[in-house]
């Protein structure tokens, strides 16, 4: 893969890269099409990365279907699929990790300790293997974007990140490979997540909420009617760079990120909304 990437770089071609864990959907395809639009060569990786799953998480269960993914990549105009095995990526004696301090421990990191260390490490490895000029990520995973932007900046990585909007179902549910775990009823009910985010945005922009606690209270109320009491794991109202809590919403100016994790049955869903308060 390195030889192929290097060949194109030397030929003066721009290399675009879309890292994924496979079981592809329209969210992944949007990233591939953005890469196709901007780059001469498009590489997609399909790798369910073991180091970003906690021991009690769904690594084994995570949906996999290479043939299906292969045809989706082909349709989206991907030139190369990088599909390594875990042994190839980590070997028997792997010792080197990348971790973004503080940022990795916030929001998702509180509930998934070690997750972002796995993410930044594998993405660093994938960048070194695929040598992209441009790399494409989804806003769906907002904290992943913040963590990777910081990795790129702090370690002077020679790739530019391109962030694409979250692609949603008609009812507003963010597309996710994990949506395959949901029943039809749960998929319908989970539309409330985006509804609550939209409502939070409208009210924050209209200055109807003075502090973040009010935002959270209303969202929890809306969501838990559908998902059940105690289903919301967290809701955070933060800036979009260092992910620090915004307490005084009324006087805050800048990008506001409202993000959350919620359980529908055993399935953990994450989503977010990003907007600017002037
Ligand atoms: P994953 O395969 O879930 O690790 O996701 C691979 C890439 O696709 C990541 O950059 C995700 O943020 C992005 N992605 C996943 N779901 C969506 C979506 N619904 N809309 C846009 N991007 C997405």
SS (H, E, C) 209-267: CCEHHHHHHHHHHHHHHHHCCCCEEEEEEEECCCCCECCECCCCCEEEEEEEEEEECCE
Q: Quick one: pLDDT band at residue 244, thresholds 50, 70, 90?
A: very high
Q: What percent of the chain has pLDDT over 70?
A: 100
**Predicted structure pTM score:** 0.97
Do 85 and 58 fall into the same domain?
yes
Do 111 and 190 fall into the same domain?
no
Do 149 and 190 fall into the same domain?
no
Report, as an integer, the average pLDDT of 189-218: 96
Q: What CATH number did the domain enclosing 185 receive? A: 3.30.1300.10
- Cβ atoms 149, 120 nearer than 8 A: no
Do 158 and 186 fall into the same domain?
no
pLDDT at residue 126, rounded to an integer: 98
Residue to probe by mutation, ligand 1, list 28, 45, 81, most atoms within 8 Å of CB: 28
Atom 5 of ligand 1: nearest residue by CA position: 20
Assigned domain for 272 exists: yes
CA 77/CA 34 separation, integer angstroms: 10
Assigned domain for 10 exists: yes
**Predicted confidence (pLDDT) at residue 11 exceeds the cutoff of 90:** yes
Per-residue pLDDT reduced to its tens digit, 73-123: 999 999 999 999 999 999 999 999 999 999 999 999 999 999 999 999 999
Report, as an integer, the average pLDDT of 147-175: 98
Do 18 and 105 fall into the same domain?
yes
Do 108 and 136 fall into the same domain?
yes
Nearest to 264 by CA among 235, 211, 215, 226: 226
Last residue of a domain, one of 134, 164, 194: 164
Do 198 and 251 fall into the same domain?
yes
pLDDT at residue 109, rounded to an integer: 98
Q: At what angle do helices 66-75 and 26-38 cross, to 10 degrees?
A: 40
pLDDT at residue 66, rounded to an integer: 98
Per-residue pLDDT reduced to its tens digit, 29-39: 999 999 999 99
CA of 2 to the centre of ligand 1 (A): 24
Atom of ligand 1 nearest to the CA of 28: 8
Q: What CATH number did the domain enclosing 98 receive? A: 3.40.50.620
Atom 22 of ligand 1: nearest residue by CA position: 138
Last residue of a domain, one of 110, 138, 164: 164
Assigned domain for 172 exists: no
Assigned domain for 211 exists: yes
Annotation marks residue 115 as catalytic: no
Assigned domain for 130 exists: yes
Residue to probe by mutation, ligand 1, list 115, 138, 171, 259, most atoms within 8 Å of CB: 138
Assigned domain for 68 exists: yes
Do 160 and 192 fall into the same domain?
no
Do 158 and 44 fall into the same domain?
yes
Assigned domain for 175 exists: no
Q: What angle do CA 95, 101, 105 make, to 5 degrees?
A: 105
Average pLDDT over the chain, rounded to an integer: 97
DSSP 18: E
Last residue of a domain, one of 132, 164, 196: 164
CA of 240 to the centre of ligand 1 (A): 18
Assigned domain for 170 exists: no
Per-residue pLDDT reduced to its tens digit, 13-22: 999 999 999 9
Residue 38: domain span: 2-164
Calculate the dihedral angle through the C-alpha atoms of 221, 222, 225, 226, rounding to the nearest 10 degrees.
-140
Residue to probe by mutation, ligand 1, list 31, 48, 164, 273, most atoms within 8 Å of CB: 31
CA 251/CA 259 separation, integer angstroms: 20
pLDDT at residue 210, rounded to an integer: 82
pLDDT at residue 94, rounded to an integer: 97
- Active-site residue identified among 25, 28, 115, 133: 28
Do 261 and 137 fall into the same domain?
no
Do 70 and 132 fall into the same domain?
yes
Report, as an integer, the average pLDDT of 248-277: 96
- Both tokens of 206, joined, read 């209209």
C-beta 137 within 6 A of ligand 1: yes
Do 14 and 44 fall into the same domain?
yes
Report the domain count for the chain: 2
């Amino acid at each position: 893969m390195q030889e192929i990437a290097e060949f194109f770089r030397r030929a003066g071609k721009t290399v675009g890269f879309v890292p994924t864990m496979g079981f592809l959907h329209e969210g992944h395809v949007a990233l591939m099409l953005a890469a196709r639009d901007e780059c001469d060569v498009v590489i997609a990786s399909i790798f369910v990365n073991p180091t970003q799953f906690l021991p009690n998480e769904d690594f084994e269960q995570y949906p996999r279907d290479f043939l299906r993914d292969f045809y989706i990549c082909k349709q989206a105009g991907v030139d190369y699929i990088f599909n390594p095995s875990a042994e190839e990526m980590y070997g028997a004696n792997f010792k080197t990790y990348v971790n973004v301090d503080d940022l990795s421990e916030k929001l998702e990191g509180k509930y998934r300790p070690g997750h972002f260390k796995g993410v930044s490490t594998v993405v660093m490895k994938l960048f070194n293997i695929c040598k992209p000029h441009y790399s494409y990520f989804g806003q769906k995973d907002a904290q992943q974007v913040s963590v990777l932007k910081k990795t790129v900046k702090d370690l002077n990585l020679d790739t530019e990140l391109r962030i694409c909007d979250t692609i949603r179902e008609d009812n507003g549910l963010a597309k996710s490979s994990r949506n395959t775990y949901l029943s039809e009823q749960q998929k319908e009910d989970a539309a409330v997540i985006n509804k609550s985010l939209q409502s939070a945005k409208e009210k924050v922009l209209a200055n109807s909420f003075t502090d973040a606690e009010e935002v959270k209270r209303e969202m929890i109320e809306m969501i838990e009617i559908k998902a059940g009491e105690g289903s919301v794991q967290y809701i955070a109202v933060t800036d979009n760079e260092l992910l620090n809590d915004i307490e005084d919403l009324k006087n805050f100016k800048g990008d506001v990120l409202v993000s959350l994790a919620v359980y529908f049955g055993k399935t953990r869903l994450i989503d977010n909304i990003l907007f600017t308060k002037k």
